[in-house]
Structure 1
Amino acid sequence: MNLQRGIRFLGRSQSGAAAVEFALVCLPLLLLMLGIVEFGRAFYVRNDLSYAADFAARKVLIGQVARDAPAGEAQQKLESAVRESFQGGDPALLQIVTGKETVDGIDFRVLSIRYPFTFVLPGLSQSPFHLQLSRRIPIG
């Protein structure tokens, strides 16, 4: 009789229910919050890459990088402009490629930037994914 009463009492007991519910909800909520933070960081770095590319494009458009400069000299000036304006990470990790192309008789200098973005949380991803963008700047 005492055993049945003890089992009935444990079945109606609510003493640890809040702790169990918190344990079930805490992990998904924590993962969601960390995912939002990581997405925000990636968006910030991507926005800063865009700013750096626009900064370099302005240098070409206002004539600080000569429009008819050889490709090597123009690339060096554009790389230094991008690296000095990039604040979202390590500028040494930027992979910058410049080139020239002609579309419908108009000459363009093409600036492509790539940055390896790594997560802050260890184990989230073993390899970085690359944020990249390009700008086509009219030069002629």
Structure 2
Amino acid sequence: MSEYKKDLEKKLTPIQLEVTQNNGTEPPFKNEYWNLTDPGIYVDIISGIPLFSSIDKFESDCGWPSFTKPLDVKEIVEKLDTTFGMRRTEVRSKTADSHLGHVFPDGPPPLGTRYCINSAALQFIPVDELEEKGYGEYQRLFA
């Protein structure tokens, strides 16, 4: 068992557990970060590893946080997902092996990707708290 997987029932809310460990999906437009516009980074709720930045976040009208790209592509794993009779690409965090959401080819230019991510899989770190929470190296993104 990964060090990150210990005692998750005690560390996570029921929706965080369902999304990250059981490939669940939270309701659109009724989740913590779908319309958050504050500057900062989004980290994996389980491992704390930075995944996305508010700089790459955009309003996609889908009801979940949407990003054009991850902070580090090496921390993202993409897998074919054929559940519910659909063919789409699941996005997981590499280190914690958590379900994050899906990536679609309908994002804005120039990349054209939309990482549609469940808020329940993320923790938001505001730019003014980056240093104190150990993410000071990411302040350069907002300079």
* Structure-2-length-normalised TM-score: 0.24
* Structure-1-length-normalised TM-score: 0.24
User: If each structure's helix is expressed as a fraction of its own residues, which one has the higher value?
Assistant: 1
Higher-Rg member (1/2): 1
Structure of higher RCO (CA pairs closer than 8 Å, 6+ residues apart): 2
User: If each structure's strand is expressed as a fraction of its own residues, which one has the higher value?
Assistant: 2
